[in-house]
Structure 1
């Protein structure tokens, strides 16, 4: 091909490539894409990891505990203890220790877990029954109000406040006044603070209501129909009771003022999050109440092991370092196989050896029926078929007597040597 044509083709190709590149440059634009991988394994393993991180970000010292074993070593002053786990198996002694810890100046935050039983006069919650805090279903309160008629106005039921001041109320209009106009967020719990015009909003579960039967609460927080937070002075400390604590879980901490409430209840203190408040284990109780018995038991076990470990009888002399004979090696190998694999394995090994030799002498022996195989072996070895069938029959798994085992081995060896 001549040079002018080559140059023309090259220019056309370059022009085409340039046109394609310009088109791609003007029409293709990069864009960022975010791929949601979901929560990390740490977040999935700890439902309150965001709460821990949030408190540490506010400058608070946060520690976690899996149980109440370290409560005796935990100082009360300047410490907030939040029980996040179930208290179903909490013992009376542990409940008393918790309240004693709070009375020495600690802040205790717990969640009401059981409903008040009017028939039994208790809820079964050892901690809250002693404080006089009762939990009811909000729908049960509505039924009681319908049955008993309109209740008397309660100073603490219409608003939630940390002070004794009341906000001014305006009279309702006869035609359009209703609860939704007075309270634009009836499903949210409102916490009023002194010198604050607007309350804090927390989305507690409105299905539950807390009642202070002993009238000990000095602060509370309400939604439109129920109370969800009570604070009681207990000795030198403070006990805060909530209807639910899942407002501080990873997926709800950022909703409304949930995170702010967590900081407000724990401010200016060190925080300990307890993820399990189950009853103490048997080992913990034994170590606390019977330490001397455990030490004595350990010494008894050590002495028993030392006594059993003493050498019994004289020392055995070292074997003569001589060479073993072949017969001793064969006998030792046979004894080892007999101990490890049993009698049946040895007999089956002799039978397989006989069949292998028979296949070598007569091709197609393995395809014959069993009866014809025994007749063929009789012709090869000149032994009666009855003796061959007795030697080649399958054996049961039961252990044979020594004499029977020896006789069977002798028959098989005679048959094998005759091939």
Structure 2
């Protein structure tokens, strides 16, 4: 018995050991065959980046030793300070959405600050204002700049009509090859009927060539699919964010070997009217090939340099009295995305879109490097984000003025219909059935108003005296005083009140009449009780 027990224990240990060895071997094999892969998961912008659209630009400038601050209003332009931080003479102001936000006083103080060494970077964008207002931007008009008109789509068809036309074109494109194949089959059939001997030999060669063509087409299709997949896989992360499909705008900067690339595809160009001589206009009438080559050498977006504003230069020219020379000068409009002006010791840069330095676009092309070239590294950079949007009432009136007028007219008509024109409206109250006491009270009041109330007293007095004579015959020959004394003992009422209630005629006051009725009712009840 002991040997059999020992064998069973040994078998159990061997089984457990074998299971442990199998598990260890499987774990080792899994660990050696396991391939570790590292993947980057985009968790989106941080809370700070969501609240500050120019946080990436601030971090970029701080890494290069330039202090940067974002302010979500334009109070710095009025006070020249923000949270006890003064606006320095060498600072840089980047106004975002600043189109049509500068008043005359604000622009004059800002212009003086620029002449003293400040740097201003503004744009022709403002989604809160747009081009619908008749106001003019003081800064742009001073530099003779205006927004280019919006490009209208020549195709006036609706989206559904366009989709239907595209589907028809696609169907026609598929049906045309089928028709061509049918025509080819018909021609081959006619040729077969003409010469059967040539057909047998030609069929062999045609079948071989057709097989080769099918193989080549299949290989080209497969190659094209593979190339498309590779192209989609090889697209960078910022391909759509930076509009890589469109060519960037190249702008020449002084001291740079190559022009810097910027993505202004999300904005419209502005028109800069240059005061040019007639010779320059004749040069602009050259063929397109020559103009394109000249633009490559000296791009139209190259930054012009001026000692003052365009308006001041014109005023100085007119004041000099050179009228004959001025007649030879004419305006010439240029479509630009970025212009640079030297103003005194400072500078003003005008762009068509300052959002190229936002968090989601600053890493595109040469945006970050272009910002570093435009700012003054000796001062602080201020990003002033305009958030002064029009009120809701202004937006509603701008977009639905006729609807607002119709609603106001309807309100006036409703108030007129509900108003009181000839006094209050008579309302007839619906009351229930009246009680018997109300009828009695109404009849009594009628008798009182007609001075017929003694009739009520007479009936009650007669009833009491008759009952008194029936119950007490010995009082039939009694006087009024004797009867009053008897009733006083019976009812507990003063004899004078009893005599007044039974025999008095001068009851002119309502209180006296009510008191007499009450006394008579009491006496009647007592006489009725004594009879029982």
- TM-score (ref. length: structure 1): 0.48
Larger radius of gyration: 2
Higher helix share: 2
Q: Which has the higher contact order (CA 8 A, sep 6+)?
A: 2
